Amino acid sequence: PKCKVFFRWSCDDVQPQEEVCVTGNCDELGNWQPTSGVTLHRDSTRPGCFTSSGVPMPIGRRVEYKYVIRNVNSMAEKWQEDKENKWLLATGRRYVKEDDGGKYRDVPVTAMTMQSGGAANRRNVLGLEEQQNTIPRLQSFEQKVTQEEETQVDPRDRIYAVFRTLPVTLRRSDSGDWEAEADRNSGFVNFKVVSMLARSVPKHLLGATWFVGHPGVFTSDPEEQRKITEALAPHNCIPVFIDEQDFRGTLEFCHLFLWPVMHNMKVFDDDAVVVDQGQSHQKFDETQWKTYQAFNKRYADAIDAQIGKGAAQAKVIVWIHDFYLLLVPKALRHRRSAATIGFYLHSAFPSSEVFRCIPPREEILLSMLSCAVVTFQIFEYARHFLSCCQFLLNATHHFEGAGNLLIEHDSESVVIRADHFAIPYQDLADLVKDNQNIAKEADAIRQAFGGSMPLRQENGGKLLFASIDGDEPFSGLMLKLRVFQKFLSECPQHTNRVCLFQHVLGKRVAGEKESELVAELKRLVETINKDFGQGGQPAVVVRFGDVTVTDRLSILQAADVLLDTSINDGLNVHPFLFTAAHALDGKGSMILSEFSGCSSVLIGARKVNPWNLQATMDCMHATVTQDADERERKFKQDLFYVSRLKLSSWVQSNLSDLKRAGLHKASAPVTGLGAGGTLFFMERGFRHLPAESVIRHYSQAKNRAILLDNEGTLAPDRRTAIKPYGAQEKLDRSGQPPDPDVKECLQALANDRNNTVMVISGRPSSVLDTWFGDVKDLGLCAEHGFYWVPPGRGTSSAGSNRWNCTKETCNEDEDWKQIAEQLMQQYVKRVQGSVLEFKGCSVAWNYRKVGAQQLANEIALELARFLDPNSGPDSLLHGYPVVVATGKGYVEVKRSDVDKGVAVNRVLNDMRERLGQVDFVLCIGDDRSDEDMFQVVNNLSAGRDGVSSCLDDDSLSAVPTLAPVLESSPKTAKSSGMWSSGGAATRMSRKASVTLEDHNPLEENNKHFTVTVGRKPTKAGYFLKDVQEVTELLQKLAQKAKAQSLARFSSMPMLARSDDDSD
């Protein structure tokens, strides 16, 4: 690797007829020969002299050098007077050697700009082109961050917060009318999330926020529904009326199937409702799933109807909550595409190993991806979601500006956030301070163990472990009791000093099987108290039932240590409540399961694996024996974090991010990897292809080129690689042939003599003959243009000799093919599911069916670096006329003179020779290999000739300068013009890529359309969402072609007189 070194030197006695050069002990500096050294330049705006461009120097090698002044007339030399040679050790990509005392750097850029010429010259003078290009990027980034900070929801927006239930209580009045009472107090006391959120909506948004949910009563009477709606309207609540049986069935499906699935439990092959750790769950039921779908549709109906009543100019934000409503986003998106939809998942999200097992997996993912923003409690759940999307939908994700995580799917970018629910800490702390009953109840709990103030006084009182958990398999209740039993048994010194208070919250769904957990708990508690209870005082107390927040705070204030052994929990707010309960005394310790969501944010708590009883017991011992200062220090760490949580700020932050995502949905930049791994940054002036404009320009044109990719464009991309393990025969790649309707459209377009229609694919010629051979006069390019059939060659019945080839034989390629094959074989052995694929002009490592795609992608990058001839002399293929391309599940080594860009250039040059100027081009593709086509068409639109490599000089797949000039093949060159094999038209030039500034696809007179399928980083000017949209466009063009053909026929002169004209 080389580093670009810039030299700067200041000398006052350099005369106008003299020049300065730098020479040194390396080839780059002329090996101490001034005539072979590097000449420095001078400019009136800068002191001293300097190199206008970087000198490539070896990295990490000491280089000695000196400056020499030479008279250009007499060639007399005057060496620098320093006794010792100067030296440098180049590091990084750029290195500036300042031998001028910083004089060059001290001159402001603005002063130089005013006095110097063009922008390019100014950058070269500075030798800082990269930094100057960076300045506007930084300014743009800072401006973007500022805009994001200023994007806040306001009363002009219309916000719909969608929950399963409403934050109100409905009841009948004495007169029989319906009355609604807000859950502002009871919601806080009962810790009802929707009610707590309703209390925390910012005051300026109260009039703009509507809550959507079930009212809590069941009625099918339209008159009763109207009265309930009117009663709820003053509270900004919108009821969703659902049949009671459907409501109960949906809750059963959610609690007994979705809830276990979300917490990583596989329950898919059970024949009936079963019990796991005492908690019932059931297999997937198709009938219940349909009920769940209908349940979600009713919510979407209610939201849609309410949006229709609002002001047309209002910005609509829909914020949907929890797994009860997973399908609402997709149902609503189809009706209200302009609305900004967000989804917040309050539960956990499973790993791909579990989620991929459920039958409706794609439907759930696609619905969540219909949102603008999807938010999870912690990043681990977001990571699981990304893995599921990548594995099941092949959706990719990337980071963009200020750390925003986006996932690309269905031509849209979906923002993925992690932001756990924030408790109203200050309200809770005030409640603990003002409510005396909390302290009294806490003292009563301590009295149950025979102690009034455990360990808070030096009186030998007991230390109380406590916990509040739900009656569910993920709470780890039995694990907790077993580890406490083990702790008392193996640490007898603590037997009289510790006790455990466990409160089990009420069940979500009634069921006989759940009583088994209660019975088992009671049996174990009885055993522990029998073995370790002393003096009539129990070692463990377990209570059951629902409790208010006040009761929870009492329990947690009584505790010295919060003990959590959950095996999977979405967040678990009780550690936050524990911190609020001890806000006054500032004491308390927490032992949290590492599988609980809150463990990732509470750094002062001790983390344990609850399945490891010995490690958990050791942690309990360390907590009991820790000194007071350490306990207080750890508690303050968590108090510092929890005390800054504000539910109102959490609401404001989520809504602002949701609004921001909606505003940027159509204008946010796309960044990512384009063809050959090139990094693209592209503003979304790139837009959906206007079919009307395409058809209008098509009708007006006389010489048209229609260039189409195959799989992923004309047909769904369902390629698979099949090869028996250890087999040596040729790889069999199955795929999706085009639909008959598509072939009919191609035939209609090919029948028009003004059209040149080409299908350009990476498939072998035999496959294209099978799929497209019956489409008469259709042009075909196989293996990215290595083989081709010019338009007008009839059908495949003409025989295989209709195919032309870039090279008659490929014997000269055997060397690099053998090298690539031998290396790729090593990767095939080590990466299960990967295979080798051989073509006439390439060798590819295919890993589409490898399960761990993220890991396989990293391996693919490593393989590409080993093979890339431009990575340096250490590359295995250095010096060979090949390029390395990466794409969806493959790494391919191919000839540098064969790609889709060369094929398209051949088509366009031939059209110009035979037919004149090409006045309409429609080029559609979906993969990185199609970027070469887009580049050629962009060059044509910008008025440039020839093929331009769509890759930058420094990119992975840049074309080597040693690419050979292709020879013509007399045996296969049966067509005239540019369709003869080889020729100058197939050479690759290295012109600069066309930027969006050069080629503006939105210009009204644009007649060259480059289109990618799906929204992604690309050189195309437009996008279509999917294959279906491509098919619909081709159908419209085919109809236009048929209409024009009929119009030409009807305009022909009469060849015979009609009977009416006789006599």
Once rounded to an integer, what is the mean pLDDT over residues 1041-1045?
85
pTM over 0.75: no
Q: Give the Å distances, CA to CA, from 318 to 198, 202, 333, 618.
A: 15, 17, 10, 48
Confidence category of residue 242, pLDDT binned at 50, 70, 90: very high
> Percentage of the chain surpassing pLDDT 70?
78
CA separation for the pair 816, 843 (Å, rounded):
9
State residue 182's pLDDT score: 82
Please name the amino acid found at residue 642. Answer: V
Q: To 5 degrees, how large is the angle CA 240–CA 245–CA 247?
A: 40
Instruction: Check pLDDT > 60 for residue 1053.
Output: no
Instruction: Check pLDDT > 90 for residue 325.
Output: yes
Query: Beta-carbon neighbour count of residue 484 at 10 Å?
Result: 27
State residue 277's pLDDT score: 41
CA separation for the pair 815, 864 (Å, rounded):
18
Once rounded to an integer, what is the mean pLDDT over residues 24-48?
85
State residue 66's pLDDT score: 92
Once rounded to an integer, what is the mean pLDDT over residues 717-725?
49
State residue 799's pLDDT score: 54
Between 328 and 979, name the one with better pLDDT: 328
CB 877 within 8 Å of CB 819: yes
State residue 695's pLDDT score: 93
Once rounded to an integer, what is the mean pLDDT over residues 460-477?
84
Instruction: Check pLDDT > 90 for residue 212.
Output: yes
> Percentage of the chain surpassing pLDDT 90?
30
Confidence category of residue 292, pLDDT binned at 50, 70, 90: very high
Once rounded to an integer, what is the mean pLDDT over residues 247-267?
89
State residue 742's pLDDT score: 92
Instruction: Check pLDDT > 80 for residue 713.
Output: yes
Instruction: Check pLDDT > 70 for residue 675.
Output: no
CB 308 within 8 Å of CB 160: no
Burial 744-774 (b: 16+ CB within 10 A, else e): ebbbbbbbbeebbbbbbbbbbbebbbebbbe
State residue 273's pLDDT score: 41
CA separation for the pair 297, 241 (Å, rounded):
11
Once rounded to an integer, what is the mean pLDDT over residues 952-974?
32
CA separation for the pair 180, 704 (Å, rounded):
68
pLDDT tens for 130-143 read 444 444 444 554 55
What's 1033's DSSP letter? Answer: H
State residue 84's pLDDT score: 83
Short-list 1044, 1029, 1038, CA closest to 749: 1038
Once rounded to an integer, what is the mean pLDDT over residues 778-785?
88
Once rounded to an integer, what is the mean pLDDT over residues 923-932?
87
Mean pLDDT for the chain? 79
pLDDT tens for 791-845 read 876 666 655 577 888 765 455 567 788 888 888 988 888 888 788 888 777 888 9
Confidence category of residue 670, pLDDT binned at 50, 70, 90: very low
Instruction: Check pLDDT > 80 for residue 362.
Output: yes
CA separation for the pair 794, 800 (Å, rounded):
12
Instruction: Check pLDDT > 80 for residue 191.
Output: no
Give the DSSP per-residue string, 778-836: -EEEEGGGTEEE-TTS--GGG-GGG-EES-S--GGGHHHHHHHHHHHHHHHHHSTT-EE
State residue 217's pLDDT score: 92
Once rounded to an integer, what is the mean pLDDT over residues 117-144?
45
Once rounded to an integer, what is the mean pLDDT over residues 741-751?
92
CB 1041 within 8 Å of CB 1033: no
State residue 160's pLDDT score: 94
913: Cβ–Cβ under 8 A, 6 or more apart, which residues?
Answer: 977, 978
pLDDT tens for 1007-1034 read 889 999 887 778 888 988 888 899 999 9
Instruction: Check pLDDT > 90 for residue 623.
Output: yes
Of 376-380, 468-472, 602-606, 613-617, give the lowest mean pLDDT range.
468-472
State residue 125's pLDDT score: 40
- Checking DSSP bridges between strand 274-276 and strand 279-281, what pairing results, if any? antiparallel
Once rounded to an integer, what is the mean pLDDT over residues 518-538?
87
State residue 972's pLDDT score: 34
State residue 411's pLDDT score: 66
Of 51-55, 254-258, 400-404, 785-789, give the lowest mean pLDDT range.
400-404
Instruction: Check pLDDT > 90 for residue 557.
Output: yes
CA separation for the pair 863, 834 (Å, rounded):
13
Of 277-281, 351-355, 1022-1026, give the lowest mean pLDDT range.
277-281
Residue 402's region, left for phi above 0, alpha for psi from -120 to 50, else beta, is left
Please name the amino acid found at residue 273. Answer: V
Once rounded to an integer, what is the mean pLDDT over residues 244-258?
93
pLDDT tens for 64-91 read 999 998 887 777 788 887 778 888 888 7
Between 473 and 818, name the one with better pLDDT: 818
State residue 459's pLDDT score: 36
State residue 1032's pLDDT score: 92
Terminal-residue alpha carbon distance, the chain? 93
Instruction: Check pLDDT > 70 for residue 447.
Output: yes
3-state SS class at 608: strand
Give the DSSP per-residue string, 342-354: EEE--S----HHH
841: Cβ–Cβ under 8 A, 6 or more apart, which residues?
Answer: 783, 784, 786, 806, 807, 810, 813, 894, 895, 898
Of 95-109, 449-463, 957-971, give the lowest mean pLDDT range.
957-971
How many residues does this entry show for the chain? 1063
Once rounded to an integer, what is the mean pLDDT over residues 417-421?
90
Instruction: Check pLDDT > 70 for residue 993.
Output: no
Once rounded to an integer, what is the mean pLDDT over residues 217-245?
93
State residue 58's pLDDT score: 83
Query: Beta-carbon neighbour count of residue 135 at 10 Å?
Result: 11
State residue 50's pLDDT score: 84
